């Protein structure tokens, strides 16, 4: 029976809060806070009408450490679940330290003015959390998050050693709209337009964005083009599994999505540099965000499935073996349950699970933790029980590209 | 020896003024006026350095009839050459009537708030110009303009009757940039995104924009996809040549141009409807215009040729015959001569020629005139002498699509 404070009121937060309310035996009291209190109230109303559970709401500017500390001290939660923008991770960690409360997030810190995802800023909090006897769990979403848990599970149960690891993220969802991003367009476009980077033989190998393409036949979706990309779990996987020779991340994009992206880049619409327009500064990507549909508006119109998993090749009892662990999630079923489609659902459920493991003491420790450092079994068990069932398949051969 | 007042200071105006200065025996004194006097001064400086001719410059808001009338009265020209935006045709015609001076333009009036090109507004000035003993010449550019002169020439010299007429406008220019429009992006995009419309058996036939595509092998350019479009000379050709059964207009667009256009339409960037952004109204197409390169900046980097002409099928001495009259213009040669590429050059030279024929009295009359109503021979002669040579070919067969 635990009190939690959730910060942020987007799709991921909405899913996490709905799933927490469905597990009132674990989460006895939920407070939801964000910059715009009306967004929290809308989520609270949905939770009340679906599950009859009351949650508290509050307004908070998570960039403001003093205000966030005061809110934590007032709410007195056992855990702060940060589902706000990744720009705000550090200020919320500071507030947790000041208030003496554990911390969890789903995406690592990124500075506003450069498109860079690195753990260094958050890993720098290691000693402070350790000295305070507090736990910070980083990246408890799907990717990062479940993909690292899958890997840890493979290492614990399926393979004695891992040689190569490929993470495959497929969103087969279709909104029927010519162009829309599944989550915050600004974050989405920053990620997709970044250089590709993968880990090979102890070092990072970089390439131009979207230059390396393969086709893969995803169960529940069909054959899709997927592209080599940098994604943040590569950094923690490379750190915690130094024996893996090659770690790659692949994400699917349709030709139409890429066509739109190419044109928007060509004309300068994805730029984060301010430009002069009619006497004031405008940041093109912010204007683009205003033109595109709100990600939240896509929930009711998205059909199809996501399929995210990990393919690992290594040795088992001296024999080379390839295993594939993945989850398939249906957009319409996710929307029916929580009012949010599968991209939010697959991130929000693992946030709830990570929080549950922390507040029940199944995952505990002092300091800053990545998902790879913790026992995968209770997490894998909860995925099956809470809407993200997974399965293991043996593949005949490693990925041959 | 004649005085002219040119209004507007874009690429077309720059070409027309350079060509007038090259024909100082006809244009003894040129005044150039526009909203931004510095643009006029830049053109004047170029004319002075290239040809040693001095021209006067002035600032004028051509939407302001009283101010424009006062400027005309001060300059005392024999002709006002309107090369400003098509939104301003009517106010400049009003000023010419008030000051008692002849008028010429290259593009027909279009209201700012709807993408419509129609002669009705300017034809409504017929009686006023006639009663005042003044002449207004409409559409003395290339298309509209030369395309109508080519048709009139064909009817006078090459065919006894015309059954079908196709206007083919190919711009084979390449800037090396992923996306740029050849002239004012706002006007360009309004034109391209409008429904297609052609004249057939006495009525207009409409279709979706860019839905009807054919490939044609253009001399000097090579095979290009061209698309059925509405273009303003169709209206005057249908009026003055009621015997022609079918009149169509085709323009070439590259696949990349169309891809960019499709995406920009999909995301709403070509909209002329204001939207709310960060507390104020922004018109998306105006923001797009600000993102795209200035058309004037394309002059030095455009390579390749334009090829614009007319294919007519009809009877000559009782025998069916197809003729093709066209001009090929080289972007780099046009730029070397006037500092403007071929899209501006092919419009600016015919504006100069129309003005020359009016001020020398070779073309004269009271009222509002379209190009089809006037003798093509002196115009065709001047095209050959002033940089837009044309040729006549017999084709084996009519266009078979």
A263–B290 CB contact, under 8 Å = no
Shortest CA distance from A266: residue in chain B: B178
B269 contacts A269? CB cut-off 8 A: yes
B269 → chain A, closest CA residue: A291
* Whether the predicted pLDDT of A112 surpasses 80: no
Which of A266, A275, A286 shows the shortest C-beta gap to B260? A266
Residue B148 pLDDT greater than 90, yes or no: yes
| pLDDT for A297 beyond 90 | no
Q: Which pTM value belongs to this model?
A: 0.77
The average pLDDT across A295-315 equals: 93
How far B266 CA sits from the closest chain A CA (Å)? Answer: 6
A260, A282, A284 ranked by CB distance to B263: nearest? A260
> Is residue A264 within a helix (H) or strand (E), and if so which, with residue range?
helix A255-266
Taking phi over 0 as left and psi of -120 to 50 as alpha, with beta for the rest, B8 belongs to left
How does residue A117 score in pLDDT terms, banded at 50, 70 and 90?
low
Residue B263's nearest CA partner among A184, A265, A195 is A265
A116, pLDDT greater than 70: no
Least confident of A195-209, B169-183, B306-320: B169-183
Q: Does A20 score more than 60 pLDDT?
A: yes
Computed over every residue of chain B, the mean pLDDT equals 94
Statement: residue A191 has pLDDT above 60? yes
CB atoms B291 and A275 under 8 Å: yes
Q: Is the peptide bond before A144 cis (omega within 30 degrees of 0)?
A: yes
pLDDT exceeds 80 at position A194: yes
Summarised one tens digit per residue, pLDDT across range A74-107 is 999 999 999 998 889 999 999 999 999 999 999 8
Distance in angstroms between the alpha carbons of the first and the last residue of chain B = 49
A274 part of contact set with chain B, CB < 8 Å: no
Work out the burial of residue B242: count CB atoms within 10 Å of its CB; fewer than 13 is exposed, 13-18 middle, 19 or more buried: exposed
Using the beta-carbon criterion (under 8 Å), do A277 and B287 form an inter-chain contact? yes
Tell me whether the omega of the peptide bond preceding residue B144 falls within 30 degrees of 0, making it cis: yes
pLDDT at B115 (0 to 100)? 55
Residues above pLDDT 90, as percent of chain A? 83
B275 reaches A (C-beta below 8 A): yes
B287 touches chain A (CB under 8 A): yes
- What is residue A46's predicted lDDT score, i.e. its pLDDT? 97
Residues of A in contact with B284 (CB under 8 A): 291
| Residue B124, pLDDT above cutoff 70 | yes
pLDDT at A401: 80
* Mean pLDDT to the nearest integer, A182-204: 84
Mean of per-residue pLDDT scores for chain A:
94
Whether residue B273 lies within 8 A of chain A, CB to CB, comes out as no
A78 φ, ψ to 5°? -85, -20
Whether residue B185 lies within 8 A of chain A, CB to CB, comes out as no
Q: Are B275 and A292 a contacting pair at CB < 8 A?
A: no
Over residues A15-21, mean pLDDT: 98
What mean pLDDT comes out for the span B76-90? 94
Q: pLDDT confidence of A1, banded at 50, 70, 90?
A: low
The pLDDT > 70 percentage for chain A reads 98
**With bands split at pLDDT 50, 70 and 90, how would you rate the model's confidence at A396?**
very high
A292 CA: distance to closest CA in chain B (Å)? 6
Work out the minimum CA distance from A352 to partner chain B, whole angstroms.
Answer: 34
pLDDT score for B108: 82
| Better-scored residue on pLDDT, B398 or A53 | A53
Searching chain B, which residue's CA lies closest to the CA of residue A256?
B263
What pLDDT was estimated at residue B366?
98
Q: Which residue of A has its CA nearest to B266?
A: A178
Confidence of residue B114 (pLDDT cuts 50, 70, 90): low
Residue entry with tokens 């367009």: A185
Q: What is the mean pLDDT of residues B129-143?
A: 98
pLDDT value of residue B186? 72
With CB atoms and an 8 Å threshold, state whether A267 touches B264: yes
Does residue B383 carry a pLDDT above 60? yes
Q: Which residue's entry shows tokens 């990246």?
A: A139
User: Is the pLDDT at A115 greater than 80, yes or no?
Assistant: no
Cβ atoms of A356 and A382 within 8 Å: the answer is yes
For A42-77, how does the pLDDT look when each residue is reduced to its tens digit (9 = 90+)? 999 999 999 999 999 999 999 999 999 999 999 999
At residue B297, the pLDDT reads 84
- In a mutagenesis test of the B interface, which of A179, A257, A287, A292 is the best target, namely the one with the most B β-carbons within 10 Å? A287
Put simply, the answer to whether B260 touches A277 (Cβ < 8 Å) is no
- What pLDDT shows up at residue A400? 79
Q: pLDDT by residue (tens digit) across A21-43? A: 999 999 999 999 999 999 999 99
Give phi and psi for B319, each to the nearest 5: -110, 140
State phi, psi for B118 to the nearest 5 degrees: -145, 145
pLDDT score of A183 more than 70: no
Residue B83 near residue B6, CB atoms below 8 Å: yes
* Portion of chain B with pLDDT greater than 90, in percent: 82
Put simply, the answer to whether B266 touches A179 (Cβ < 8 Å) is: yes
- The pLDDT value given to residue B1: 66
A287 with B282: Cβ contact below 8 A: yes
Where are the extended beta strands (E) located within B50-158?
56-59, 79-82, 102-105, 135-138
Is A255 in the B-facing interface, judged by CB distances under 8 Å?
no
Query: Among positive and negative, which fits the CA dihedral B45, B49, B51, B53?
Result: positive
Residues in A touching B290 (Cβ below 8 Å): 275, 277-278
A225-271 tens-digit pLDDT:
999 999 999 999 999 999 999 999 999 998 888 899 889 989 999 88
Distance from CA of A254 to the nearest CA of B (A): 14
Query: What is the predicted pLDDT for the residue at A119?
Result: 86
Least confident of A135-149, A221-235, A318-332, B174-188: B174-188
Give the pLDDT of residue B140: 98
Residue B234: the pLDDT is 96
Residue A371 has pLDDT above 80, yes or no: yes
Quote the pLDDT of residue A120.
87
The pLDDT, as a whole number, for residue B78 is 98
Average pLDDT of the segment spanning B179-187: 75
Whether residue B113 has pLDDT greater than 80 = no
pLDDT digits (tens, 9 = 90+) for A340-351: 999 999 999 999
CA-to-CA dists, residue B21 to A99, A107, B49, B344, B352, angstroms: 79, 66, 11, 17, 10
B277 and chain A in contact, CB less than 8 A = yes
Do B290 and A277 count as a contact with CB atoms less than 8 A apart? yes
Q: In the prediction, which pLDDT does A190 show?
A: 75
């Amino acid at each position: 029976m635990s009190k939690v404070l959730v910060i942020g009121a987007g799709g991921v937060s909405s899913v996490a809060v709905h799933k927490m309310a469905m597990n009132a035996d674990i989460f006895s009291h939920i407070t939801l806070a964000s910059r715009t209190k009306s967004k929290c109230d809308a989520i609270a109303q949905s939770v009340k009408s679906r599950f009859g559970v009351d949650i508290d709401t509050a307004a908070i500017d998570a960039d403001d450490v003093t205000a966030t500390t005061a809110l934590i001290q007032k709410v007195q939660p056992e855990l702060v679940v940060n589902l706000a923008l990744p720009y705000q991770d550090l200020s919320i960690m500071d507030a947790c330290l000041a208030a003496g409360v554990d911390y969890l997030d789903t995406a690592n810190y990124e500075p506003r003015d450069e498109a860079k995802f690195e753990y260094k800023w958050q890993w720098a909090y290691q000693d402070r959390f350790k000295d305070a006897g507090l736990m910070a769990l980083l990246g408890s979403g799907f990717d990062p998050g479940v993909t690292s848990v899958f890997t840890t599970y493979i290492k614990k149960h399926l393979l004695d050693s891992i040689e190569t690891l490929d993470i495959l993220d497929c969103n087969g969802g279709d909104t029927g709209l010519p162009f829309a991003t599944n989550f915050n367009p600004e974050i989405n476009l920053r990620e997709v337009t970044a250089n590709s980077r993968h880990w090979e033989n102890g070092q990072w190998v970089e390439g131009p964005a979207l230059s390396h393409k393969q086709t893969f036949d995803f169960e529940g979706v069909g054959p899709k083009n997927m592209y080599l990309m940098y994604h943040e779990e590569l950094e923690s996987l490379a750190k915690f599994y130094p024996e893996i020779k090659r770690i790659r991340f692949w994400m699917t994009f349709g030709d139409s999505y890429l066509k739109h992206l190419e044109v928007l880049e060509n004309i300068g619409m994805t730029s984060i540099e301010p430009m002069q327009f009619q006497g004031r500064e405008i940041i093109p990507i912010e204007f683009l965000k205003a033109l595109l549909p709100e990600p939240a508006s896509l929930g009711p119109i998205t059909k199809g499935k996501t399929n995210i998993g990990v393919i690992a090749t290594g040795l088992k009892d001296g024999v080379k073996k390839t295993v594939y662990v993945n989850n398939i999630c249906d957009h319409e079923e996710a929307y029916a349950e929580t009012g949010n489609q599968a991209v939010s659902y697959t991130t929000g459920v693992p946030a709830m699970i990570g929080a549950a493991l922390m507040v029940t003491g199944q995952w505990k420790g002092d300091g800053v933790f990545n998902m790879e450092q913790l026992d995968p079994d209770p997490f894998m068990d909860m995925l099956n029980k809470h809407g993200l069932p997974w399965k293991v398949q043996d593949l005949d051969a490693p990925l041959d590209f």
